[in-house]
Amino acid sequence: MEKFISHTGVAAPLRRSDVDTDMIIPADFLKRITRTGFEDGLFFGLFKDPEFVLAREPYTQASVLVAGPNFGTGSSREHAVWALQDFGFKAIISPRFGDIFRSNSGKSGLLTVQVEESEVVALWDLLDADVGLEVTIDLEHRTVSAGEWSTSFQIDDYTRWRFMEGLDDIGITMSHDDDIVTHEAARPSWKPATLGR
């Protein structure tokens, strides 16, 4: 995972609420067994409209997505995160995220930036008034800014630390193997097993 301290880039306004993971990447693209190259499935249905925001310049270069509430609801497919990253997104701004999407993003290094709904609306208006405006996400200070405008966002200390250090979860967990072994030794014998006992 790459370190994320602060990022500045073109922000695309996606004026929609309830952008579910089926919309982000339809199930057809889930058949792949590779880990990269999912950008061609991103917003597959929405891209059919040539006026779709990400189909227009300069948003083909966007690295920040500004969306309405309930972004990433629906299925657990991490492909949604990969597709956004493969397209070039580093951060998604929304008033509310689907839980699993948010957690998946955290594991893969896509920053989810939760701000007030009114701030998202304000940012949309700014971006529409000044096409191609760059947005800065400063994780160290927990702020989002564009031109004169800025707001703060919430992120728990642990996730912030992991992002800023670029740390992978599995490695961290494996360093606690003793605790896992102790827990396993105390599990009741009637707990089910899949390979017989």
Which stretch in 69-77, 84-92, 126-134, 140-148 sits in contact with another protein by CB under 8 A?
69-77
Name which of 75 and 151 has its Cβ closer to another protein.
75
Instruction: Note whether 114 binds another protein by CB under 8 A.
Output: no
Give the separation between CA 187 and CA 185, rounded to whole angstroms: 6
Q: Looking at beta carbons only, is 110 or 144 nearer to another protein?
A: 110
Contacts of 96 (CB under 8 A, 6+ apart): 69, 70, 71, 114
Q: Which is nearer to another protein, 10 or 115 (CB)?
A: 115
Binding another protein by CB under 8 A: which of 37, 45, 132, 166?
45
- Taking the C-alpha atoms of residue 4 and residue 162, their distance in angstroms, rounded to an integer, is 9
The sheet carrying 134-138 orders its strands as 111-114, 91-94, 64-67, 6-14, 134-138, 143-146, 149-152
**From 41, 68, 146, 163, residue interacting with another protein (rule: CB under 8 A):** 68
Instruction: Measure the CA–CA gap between 62 and 88, rounded to whole angstroms.
Output: 7
User: What tokens were used for 87?
Assistant: 């397209």
**Contact of 80 with 30, CB cutoff 8 Å:** no
Query: How far does the chain reach from its first CA to its final CA, in angstroms?
Result: 38
* Selected binder of another protein within 8, 103, 136, 150 (CB under 8 A): 103
Task: Looking at residues 4 to 43 of the shown chain, list those that interact with another protein (rule: CB under 8 A).
Answer: 16-18, 20, 22-23, 26-28, 30-35
Q: Could you list the residues that contact another protein (CB under 8 A)?
A: 16-18, 20, 22-23, 26-28, 30-35, 44-45, 68-70, 73-79, 81, 96-100, 103-104, 107-108, 117, 156-158, 169-170, 172-174, 176, 179-180, 182-184, 187-195
